[in-house]
Chain A
Amino acid sequence: SQQGEEDPQALSIQEGENATMNCSYKTSINNLQWYRQNSGRGLVHLILIRSNEREKHSGRLRVTLDTSKKSSSLLITASRAADTASYFCATENTGNQFYFGTGTSLTVIP
């Protein structure tokens, strides 16, 4: 499979703590995206980082990309109960194929 893989599969933290999840992928990419999915609902786009970028911020989100290690991380700072969701990375590879990873399930305990 060409899918990205998120790590950890599940993460449970206290409200106010930071949450970090990682995505590894197998082939060279044009860009990598992160999405959030609340239980049983459609995915919502969070951030897109291109292969020539190393870091990107959006509000409490910070995404890094290390193309040499074929990995990305998503950091959510000062987590809130409303951040409880599954988080997926998605990659567009240089062969113009697009794949989602298997997701990290984040639980933020109030």
Chain B
Amino acid sequence: DADVTQTPRNRITKTGKRIMLECSQTKGHDRMYWYRQDPGLGLRLIYYSFDVKDINKGEISDGYSVSRQAQAKFSLSLESAIPNQTALYFCATSIAWGDEQFFGPGTRLTVL
């Protein structure tokens, strides 16, 4: 009964493939975020959404796209995966910008 869930938890894919990572939340929060984590670089913000009609690019949005299908669902797509997109991807939610964020368990993506 996790509040923020991510699917899949692990994915191995090949260069050039289209990949979608999904995030669902039961916290009722309007704000949702996608981050990637690389060793030694901390978390970097890819995209964030304030509500279903408001989507914004983060620090590193190139090569990624997102879709906010509903308040509870926020998907991240890699249209044509490349090896340097191999990373740990996290979804998070918050009540308001700058407030405590609640993280999902992460998706480990490997692009060969």
* Chain A residues engaging chain B, CB cutoff 8 angstroms: 3, 30-31, 33, 35, 40-45, 48, 88, 90, 92, 96, 98-103
Majority secondary structure of chain A interface residues (helix, strand, loop or mixed): strand
Tell whether, in the assembled complex, residue A42 and residue B106 are in contact, meaning their CB atoms are under 8 Å apart: yes
With A3-B42, A88-B42 as known contacts, state yes or no: A42 contacts B100, CB within 8 Å.
no
How distant is B37 from chain A, measured CB to nearest CB, in Å? 9
With A100-B44, A101-B42 as known contacts, state yes or no: A43 contacts B103, CB within 8 Å.
yes
With A31-B98, A92-B97 as known contacts, state yes or no: A42 contacts B42, CB within 8 Å.
no
Tell whether, in the assembled complex, residue B41 and residue A41 are in contact, meaning their CB atoms are under 8 Å apart: no
With A3-B42, A100-B43 as known contacts, state yes or no: A45 contacts B101, CB within 8 Å.
yes
Max chain A CB contacts within 10 Å: which of B43, B92, B104, B108? B43
How distant is A28 from chain B, measured CB to nearest CB, in Å? 13
17 A-B Cβ contacts within 8 A? A30-B98, A31-B98, A33-B101, A35-B101, A40-B106, A40-B108, A41-B105, A41-B106, A42-B4, A42-B103, A43-B43, A43-B90, A43-B92, A45-B100, A88-B42, A88-B43, A100-B42
Query: Which residues of chain A come closer than 8 Å to B4, judged between CB atoms?
Result: 42
Query: Which residues of chain B come closer than 8 Å to A102, judged between CB atoms?
Result: 40-42
Query: Which residues of chain A come closer than 8 Å to B103, judged between CB atoms?
Result: 42-44
Give the complex CA separation of A45 and B97 in angstroms.
15
Q: Any chain A CB within 8 A of the CB of B52?
A: no
What would 6 more interface pairs be, CB under 8 Å, given A43-B103, A98-B45? Answer: A42-B105, A42-B106, A45-B101, A92-B98, A102-B42, A103-B42
Q: Any chain A CB within 8 A of the CB of B88?
A: yes
Give the complex CA separation of A31 and B101 in angstroms.
13
